[in-house]
Chain A
């Protein structure tokens, strides 16, 4: 074997963790899994200091998320403030349950709600993520629906971390989470497009069953937030 660096490929990405922010410390819940769904070990609500720490850690990413959705700096600032105010209010009122989702995932769900509240009436290009969020989140001030969405996303993050599905399925799901098309998925998996399509359908089906089939109460909870009695 000859070691050589392919043309155009990064030779080395080096960094040292001492320069990472507090947000990169090891207590980041990478998967959201450790906080989710453990009724036997209820967790206390976060303190004000913990929410403040989360604000310091996640706010830059939150603003970046709003910016990626097309918000200007001023709007991103306003949305961020509304999001954190709603998060803190939910924590104070006991509407955020740490045993159901990681705080970062809850913050994301609330942020989606805030974004949609401001944009719901505005015309926007088709976007499957916003369409789904639009159906799962209402326009009211209550964040119970955001908590239910966060719980669902926590389970999806568990799946992406490999805790719910097989390694083969996880690879497919990770690729899909990056928005890969069937053709790109086939290329990434090194299989024919028809095979990739079949594996995608299979992985999605298994994820769907992992998310809902054994969790009728989850379906009901999300459905309740939408007033339909079902998650769909």
Chain B
């Protein structure tokens, strides 16, 4: 039987095997010109967010989805929705310091033109954070835009999608592309990550 050193080597090989796929995404990073404007917009918004003075108190009983492991339910909500109706969904995946299962907030943000991330106000983010039980230290914001039938419609859909995104989280250099791998190609993904300071 393989010893611990061999099993550890297998783990490293498995990660390397995965890196072939990840590098495929990174290889065309220079082509992300279209994303630049949105990235700047998101950053600008998040700069404002960084000055939010206080977090609203946790809302008792607020709906909070716990991420679960499993296959990505990219089309789990497909059947109940019209084929051509489009929309946008925002996922806020909050992590606390103890690295418990993430608190996933799922919000329908309509289909207005432009990135909902760029329009996200500091109050919005504070409100979202307030729906989590523990004090989150960082948040991954994922905006999904595309046919409604392909977007997560329930907290369960959102939680399972978050599990896939969470799996991709260590791929920092190509996080946006890695996140895109979790959804159908018709769905556009915009991502942003914000660090939150612990409560004072």
Partners in one complex: yes
Mark A residues whose CB is within 8 Å of B. 1-6, 9-21, 23-32, 34, 57-58, 60-62, 64-65, 104-105, 107-109, 112, 128-129, 131-133, 150, 152-153, 156-157, 160-163, 167, 171, 173-174, 176-179, 190, 200-201, 204, 207-208, 211-212, 231-232
Q: Which residue of B lies closest to A15 (CB)?
A: B176
**Please, which residues of chain B bring their CB within 8 A of the CB of A21?**
24-25, 27-28, 31, 177
Among the listed A26, A57, A157, A173, which residue makes an inter-chain contact with B24, where contact means beta carbons less than 8 Å apart? A57
Contact B192 A14 (CB under 8 A): yes
Contact B34 A19 (CB under 8 A): yes
**Please, which residues of chain B bring their CB within 8 A of the CB of A208?**
1-2, 7
| Most B Cβ at <10 Å: residue of A21, A163, A231 | A21
Contact A3 B8 (CB under 8 A): no
Chain B contact residues (Cβ within 8 angstroms of A): what range?
35 or more
A-contact 0/1 string along B174-188, CB 8 Å cutoff: 111111111111011
A-contact 0/1 string along B46-82, CB 8 Å cutoff: 1101111111000000000000010110100000000
Stretch at the interface among B14-22, B84-92, B104-112: B14-22
Q: With A61-B24, A128-B8 known to touch, is A15 a contact of B14 (CB < 8 Å)?
A: no
Q: Which residue of B lies closest to A20 (CB)?
A: B177
**Please, which residues of chain A bring their CB within 8 A of the CB of B176?**
13-17, 19-20
Min CB distance B18 to A, Å, is 7
**Please, which residues of chain B bring their CB within 8 A of the CB of A105?**
14, 17
Q: Is B158 an interface residue (CB 8 A)?
A: no
**Please, which residues of chain B bring their CB within 8 A of the CB of A2?**
52-55, 197, 199-200
- Give bound CA distance, A130 to B190, whole Å: 38
- Give bound CA distance, A211 to B39, whole Å: 42
**Please, which residues of chain A bring their CB within 8 A of the CB of B39?**
12, 14-16
Contact B43 A1 (CB under 8 A): no
Contact A177 B12 (CB under 8 A): yes
**Please, which residues of chain B bring their CB within 8 A of the CB of A173?**
11
- Give bound CA distance, A34 to B74, whole Å: 14
**Please, which residues of chain B bring their CB within 8 A of the CB of A132?**
6, 9-10, 13
**Knowing that A61-B27, A153-B10 are A-B contacts, what are 18 other residue pairs whose CB atoms are under 8 Å apart, sorted by A's residue number?**
A1-B196, A3-B52, A11-B46, A15-B39, A15-B191, A17-B176, A20-B176, A26-B182, A28-B21, A58-B20, A61-B21, A61-B23, A64-B19, A105-B14, A112-B13, A129-B12, A157-B18, A160-B14
Min CB distance B90 to A, Å, is 14
Among the listed B13, B38, B184, which residue makes an inter-chain contact with A153, where contact means beta carbons less than 8 Å apart? B13
Contact A12 B46 (CB under 8 A): yes
Among the listed A58, A176, A232, which residue makes an inter-chain contact with B8, where contact means beta carbons less than 8 Å apart? A176
